[in-house]
Amino acid sequence: MAMTGVLRPGHAQIRVLDLDESIKWYTDVMGLVPMGRDGQGRAYFKTRAERDHHSIVLRQADKAGMDFFGYKVLDTATLDELEAKLQAHGVKTERVPAGELLETGERVRFEVPTGHTIELYAEKKDVGNATGYTNPEVDVIDGKGICPIRLDHCLVYGTDLDGATDIFTKVLGFTLVERVKLEDGQTDLGVWLTCSAKAHDIAIVRHGENAKLHHVSFQLGSWEQVLRAADIMSKNRVSIDVGPTRHGVTNGTTIYFFDPSGNRLETFCGGYDHYPDMHPITWTWDEVGAGIFYHNRKLNDAFLSVVT
């Protein structure tokens, strides 16, 4: 599939309560690669296989959560085009100057109707990965911690699910992959959207409060790597929410767990390929338990209600 617009998730800025503790935890337990600090004191990280400078930014704050989630687009012409489409749709945009994030070009920032700040950008310094571009070795996991492949997606909670979905699908070119219906059989409880051939690049759930983060997800390469991640979490006394288990929605294997500030993260593996000519999959309310947790087919109240 030719990818010409929004390419992939690019970065998330996460609020943490103790920056020094979090830097050590994201380095030693998550196994992310530290990429420096900026003049605001924010800490930057990338995963083992990402070639752009960073995907995770940590900011010291008095409340956990996520400041913004960014997507990389094909080029600066695409960035200009998508900003114009957003404005035509009635979305107010803001240009964030190049360099405000380390090694990152100009960004287009806007708010979706669920209250979340989303960014688009075209330029970020390519720093490569450990294997290089010429005659690379196979990427072997030999680093510390969980050592994920890449930033995979986020799941956010907010009130106007339909309005947010319209922006992602009608303006930014995302495709609806799966949805969960409420008891009336008509209203969407949640949607899973992709800008690529992945099962999802963002998920949105209807919720009584706006601007809430459910989780930021990192990709692993196999079910065995998910189990290895569970061992690392247990060894380091990480608070695990759910898993290891499998989703019905997307078919991915998963563990949900919390960072030291209470932000929920996910290690995610698998999921099917999705193409724009495929029909969306619908889960009805009576089978929502199997959709979320396929093995025990039951919902976890804390999983649904705990957000930052």
SS3 content of the chain, % helix, strand, coil (to 5): 20, 35, 45
Which neighbouring-strand residues pair with 245? 254
Among candidate residues 207, 214, 247, 274, the one labeled active-site is 247
256 is catalytic: yes
Among candidate residues 153, 207, 214, 274, the one labeled active-site is 153
Q: Which amino acid is at 89?
A: H
Please give the DSSP secondary-structure letter assigned to residue 104: B
Among candidate residues 11, 53, 207, 215, the one labeled active-site is 215
Give the Cα separation of 98 and 102 in Å (integer). 9
Among candidate residues 54, 200, 214, 274, the one labeled active-site is 200
11 is catalytic: no
Give the Cα separation of 147 and 220 in Å (integer). 8
Among candidate residues 53, 116, 256, 274, the one labeled active-site is 256
81 is catalytic: no
Among candidate residues 54, 214, 266, 274, the one labeled active-site is 266
247 is catalytic: yes
Give the Cα separation of 246 and 268 in Å (integer). 9
Helical spans, DSSP H, in the chain: 19-28, 76-88, 161-166, 223-235, 288-292, 301-305
Active site residues: 153, 200, 215, 247, 256, 266
